[in-house]
Structure 1
Amino acid sequence: NGTLRDAFAYLVKILGSLGQLQLMKSDPDMPDEAVTADYCLKELCIIGDRKTVTDRFHALHDEVGGFGTLLMIAHDWDDEAKWRASMRTLATDIVPKLP
């Protein structure tokens, strides 16, 4: 419920108007109506406390067979201190625990 959700709501609207929601789908057979901002936050983002984020990164690593680079995209800083703390936590507490 913030700027990130608003950004996904806008993106879903734009891609929907262009008939391109398949770009957001984890399953090509899912209906377009299922692609919502909340769906995008749940399926396309890794969000949560340290344990949740670490667990999801480990699962992603296992699913795709590893990765050499981790890219964090941070934009729409509605609360700069919160975003900076999140980036610091990722760099110091989570990434060092990845394989």
Structure 2
Amino acid sequence: MSKPIPDRAEIALEYPDKFYAGTFEHSSRFEARLDGSGVALILEHPGAEDVRKSVHLHLNFGLLAGILRELAASVAAIPKDDIAHRKLLADAVDELRQALKAP
């Protein structure tokens, strides 16, 4: 079930002969779930044909784990006094860790 996007996502897709960019904000929705091989992420902006857009992304578990490690290594980029964003991320990681421990 999709939920409203609580913040903002910017997407860029670059090919040799094409470039696509889009922003998904509060009026957009997202869905994220784990399946048998990784995580599926969907970002959707509803509306008329000329404004609606969606992005579907699937990351296998190994890549997702690598991304999480890279994020951990770069956490110093978040200012130490940005307590709200640090807590937001820490709480989400704690929820994921607890869910992974459950039988």
**TM-score category by the smaller chain?**
0.3 to 0.5
Higher helix share: 1
Tell me the TM-score normalised to structure 2 length: 0.34
Bigger relative contact order (CA 8 A; separation at least 6): 1
Tell me the TM-score normalised to structure 1 length: 0.35
Higher strand share: 2
